[in-house]
Amino acid sequence: MRNPNRVLIWIVIFLAAVAAVSGLLLEPLTDAFTANPVFNGMILSVLFVGLVINCRQVLVLKPEVDWVDRFRHAEEGDAPSLPNSRLLGSMARMLTGRRGDRFSLSATSMRTVLDGIRTRLDESRDVSRYLIGLLVFLGLLGTFWGLLDTLRAVGGVITNLRIDGADAGQIFAELRDGLQAPLTGMGTAFSSSLFGLASSLVLGFVDLQASHAQNRFYNDLEEWLSGQTRLSTGAMGGDADGSVPAYIQALLENTADSLDKLQRIMARGDEERRSVDARIIELTEEVSRLAEQSHSEQRGLIGLTRTQSELQGVLGRLADITESRGGQESEQTEQLRAMAQGLQDMRQEMVTDRERLMTELRDEVRLLTRTVSHLNGNDRG
């Protein structure tokens, strides 16, 4: 969403231009202000309050935009906190527990949310519009007040004017002195009109910029929510704008919410299934490495057994040669026979160890097979 604070740049530029023009016309503006300081002071006070209110209306949009951006990019379990303002409070509570763009709204729900936000924006602008009208009213009130003073003073001059037997110069002097009050009243009237209309012009421009910022915020929010809105296509007989019974609408919304929850559950199930598949692959690789190690050990045992068999044959032949010599080396023969018997026992023990290793390997493979079958059964369930 677009940053609404950029509108403040245009407001500051406009106020700087107004201040520059006021500085150039400082002396006549000071004279006009002193002509009616009460009304003009009230007008400037209302202008200041209006500027503060409009700037605040722009500033309060920034937290709302930030919350929407955080919500759109939030991950599971990392939902942003509810905003403090009342502009998006109801929508935030409605979307609590949902993540980013993974949710959907019915057309009725979207229109209800947008209507509530539009109403709040209009309510915030009502104060500014009232202040603009109040500035115009104060300017007109000062004008009429000054005109009343003028009429009263003119009436007094005409009433007090004496022309019977008086010198023309004296009559003119009295007329000149009497016109001072009407001129003062005219100054009051025109100065109030000047400040009232100028202040309403300034506040109107600032209100226009604030309205543009609020409209852009509303349009961006409407565009985002429109992308998350589902449209019903059921044929109810009648046009698409026909009314739907309340219980059917509630049933459809409940079904849509259930489907949304089911979608989130299926997404979590897919993540768990991918994790189980990864663990199965790791276990299969470990079994493959164990099988290769078993094969290498088996080949080593076979080679060692073959070597022992050959060595036993050689020892047997040596024993036979020794016996053919007539028992001269009977003691050596007994030793050789003992060595042959020891080698035979060692061979038998190695064969037993090999069979035990193969049995354990088969048991591990069976256990792995049952584990994989159990995991696949859980995934199907």
pLDDT, tens digit, 9 for 90 and up, residues 260-279: 788 888 888 888 888 888 88
Is 210 within a domain? Answer: yes
> Nearest to residue 346, comparing CAs of 303, 317, 304?
304
C-alpha to C-alpha distance for 189 and 126, rounded to whole angstroms:
28
Do the beta carbons of residue 157 and residue 175 sit within 8 Å?
yes
C-alpha to C-alpha distance for 120 and 64, rounded to whole angstroms:
13
Confidence of residue 17 (pLDDT cuts 50, 70, 90): very high
| Tally of structural domains, the chain | 1
C-alpha to C-alpha distance for 221 and 121, rounded to whole angstroms:
13
CB-neighbour burial class of residue 35 (10 A; exposed 0-12, middle 13-18, buried 19+): buried
pLDDT of residue 51: 92
Is 203 within a domain? Answer: yes
Q: Which domain holds residue 4?
A: 1-70+116-232
CB-neighbour burial class of residue 111 (10 A; exposed 0-12, middle 13-18, buried 19+): middle
pLDDT digits (tens, 9 = 90+) for 85-140: 567 766 766 666 555 555 566 677 777 777 878 888 888 888 888 999 999 888 88
C-alpha to C-alpha distance for 202 and 194, rounded to whole angstroms:
12
C-alpha to C-alpha distance for 339 and 315, rounded to whole angstroms:
8
Is 212 within a domain? Answer: yes
What value does the mean pLDDT take over residues 34-48? Answer: 87
C-alpha to C-alpha distance for 212 and 121, rounded to whole angstroms:
11
Is 129 within a domain? Answer: yes
C-alpha to C-alpha distance for 209 and 194, rounded to whole angstroms:
23
Contact residues for 51 (Cβ-Cβ < 8 A; gap 6+): 15, 202, 203, 206
Across the chain, what does the average pLDDT equal?
Answer: 74
Is 373 within a domain? Answer: no
Amino acid at 9: I
Q: What angle do CA 84, 85, 89 make, to 5 degrees?
A: 85
Is 264 within a domain? Answer: no
CB-neighbour burial class of residue 283 (10 A; exposed 0-12, middle 13-18, buried 19+): middle
Is 96 within a domain? Answer: no
Q: What angle do CA 152, 153, 158 make, to 5 degrees?
A: 100
- Residue 314: other Cβ atoms inside 10 A: 11
pTM score over 0.85: no
Q: Which 8-state DSSP code applies to residue 83? A: P
pLDDT of residue 52: 92
